[in-house]
Chains A and B, each alone.
Chain A
Amino acid sequence: MLEAIFDRARDAHRTAFIPYVMAGDPDLETTAAILTALTDAGADAIELGIPYGDPLADGPTIAAAAQRALARNVTVRDVLDLVERHKADAGAPIVLFTYFNPIYQYGLERFAHDASDAGASAVIVPDIALEEGEELSAVLAEHGLDMPLLVAPSTTPERAARIASQSSGFIYVVSRLGVTGAGTQPSTEALREKIRVLRATTEKPLAVGFGVSDAEHVRAVARLADGIIVGSALIDAYAGADGDDAAARVRRFVEPLIAAADFSAP
């Protein structure tokens, strides 16, 4: 069901723009305002992080955002309630981003049911790769939820093909080695090659994330991929702010990125 956003974006000569925010950072009301701001700014979908205290795949920015949310005891249920409000308000499609243990403890079946009920479209679990993902992706699929899988620079071509066939919604192409976070710019050459290999094996949308932080990156990636995920740089953009102030900063930050995602521009 998430694939439709990529079709719509392509029809408009854009790469789908998918910002990431951490639910409950610095509080749930602020996140609600940010989700609205992102929807209004034209985000094609929003990745919404469920805070976890031991985020192996995340760099310092997202890890710190999770700590701020956990300091307020934000739970899986709180995040699902937030999704429900956002969807009732006609908000952009939500892709939940969660480490495995919180949803394992919540109960996978119950989580899939409740996430679907709340109106989420997909669930990304960064510490679940192909081998451990079968049961979870089946449970999510039963409730109409996509489960995009990640392809890393270190993923072999044979494995990438298997991931592509198992992945649903889109394929999350990790632009560089390491963890999430602004900083090292992804190598466009290596990325181009990865995407070429993937295009040969799948027609599913490819969205690029990890280290995409400014309009220039977005322009470079927009010509290659179907979607762009921006996380840490966005979180940095509203660090220290809350409420409408945070939402306004988010909007100012993403507008030029969304403009840069238009690949028909000269």
Chain B
Amino acid sequence: MQQPDVRGYFGEFGGRFVPEVLIDALDRLTVEMTAAFGDPSFWREYDEVLRDFVGRPSPLYRAERYGDAARVPLLLKREDTNHTGAHKINNTVGQALLARRMGKKRLIAETGAGQHGVATATVGAKFGFPVDVYMGAVDVERQALNVYIMKVLGATVHPVTGGTQTLKDATNEAFRVWAAEVEEAFYVIGSVVGAHPYPYMVREFQKVIGVESRRECLERYGRLPTDVIACVGGGSNAMGIFAGFVDDPQVRLWGVEAAGEGVDSGKTAAALGAGRVGVLHGSRSYLLQNAHGQVQDTHSISAGLDYPGVGPEHAFLKESGRATYVPVTDAQALDAFFEFARAEGIIPAVESAHAIAFAKQLAAERGPDDLILVNLSGRGDKDIAQVRAMTGDA
């Protein structure tokens, strides 16, 4: 498994493109993180919290009726069964433990759909940190339920009115607030993005997905999967499951990006598929941008994938050829959302439905001796109202 170099680079991607005011905080975070990662008692507590509070290990479920599942074995890593309903909590537990170890007084976080905000509010409540969540004003409107859940958990949600009023702007604002309160506040980033050490640190906190999957696959099926599939927005659930298999060269890794209305439509969120190398939120990676280097507005049916950038390690895996990134459109994801729910009795998050849609396409090229593993990164309850509105169901 690739470690970033001392400057935080995976190949030519990553680094630290942030204002000087944040450099010392990133340095101190790197030092503390490195010490914690080398400390068995840190991981012991992390494992305990994941077991008793989050409900890990999450099940590895074999689908039976979806798509070609009767012919080509299809396994689902059930991150949807985690407390708070998605993989996000693995990371917020880790960062909250680190914040406590560093003596920080409060947590700040950005959120798009609200899932990471809820996961941060949850660990804030559990560990006794005040939590401030920055969320684009448009998203606050769109995701009223999650906004209220965060309030129930005691967090303060700050609507961000700058720029496009979505996740990208919420992230800008969280960085700004962090710059002003860098001594007291711990910035809990929600994905494998941001300046070094965040992409690496978040991956390490999501690696549990891949480690469990690999172990259970071997125990129960006696072999590794032939293909591992995960959706990619910023890319934390994908890095988490990829981390378990990246050193097994025979395992093909597939990242599924949100194509929106199509990779070439201009209404897309596929940074690796339609972007160019650029710098956003502290690291160099692929980025949806115009010819002048202005970050482009993105579109996806899935708020969790609706982000113009992508984690630098994904850019590295793409360039090195170790992983392949494919697009799935809004319409394909929505079809998979219904088909999977009705075939398996599991309503997937619309994000995860992108991965599930691609799994069906891939199964058509695979046989009974293959084994496809999909990261079911979250559950779809949060999406019900939106899907209902979109399909015009009364």
Contacts and interface: CB of A to CB of B under 8 A. Distances in A.
A56 B24 contact: no
A129 B23 contact: yes
A174 interface: yes
Interface string A48-62: 000011111101100
A33 B22 CA distance: 36
Interface string B336-351: 0000000000000000
A75 B20 contact: no
Contacts of A56: 18-19, 172, 175-176, 179, 281-282
Interface stretch (B58-66, B111-119, B287-295): B287-295
A71 to B, nearest CB: 12
Interface residues of B, number: 37
B168 A54 contact: yes
B176 A59 contact: yes
A178 B16 contact: no
A78 to B, nearest CB: 10
B19 A150 contact: yes
Contact of A155 (B17, B20, B280, B293): B20
B21 interface: yes
Interface in A199-242: none
Contacts of B20: 129-130, 149-152, 154-155, 163, 174
Interface in A236-263: none
Contacts of A126: 19
B182 interface: yes
Interface string A127-145: 1111110000000000000
Given A104-B279, A129-B19, 13 more contacts: A54-B280, A56-B176, A57-B179, A63-B162, A64-B162, A105-B292, A131-B15, A150-B21, A156-B24, A177-B21, A177-B180, A177-B181, A179-B179
Interface of B: 7, 15-25, 162-163, 168-169, 172, 175-176, 179-183, 276, 278-282, 287, 289, 291-295
24 contacts: A52-B294, A53-B295, A54-B169, A54-B281, A56-B175, A101-B279, A101-B293, A101-B295, A104-B293, A105-B278, A105-B289, A105-B292, A130-B20, A130-B23, A131-B23, A149-B20, A150-B19, A152-B19, A152-B21, A154-B25, A155-B21, A174-B21, A177-B183, A178-B181
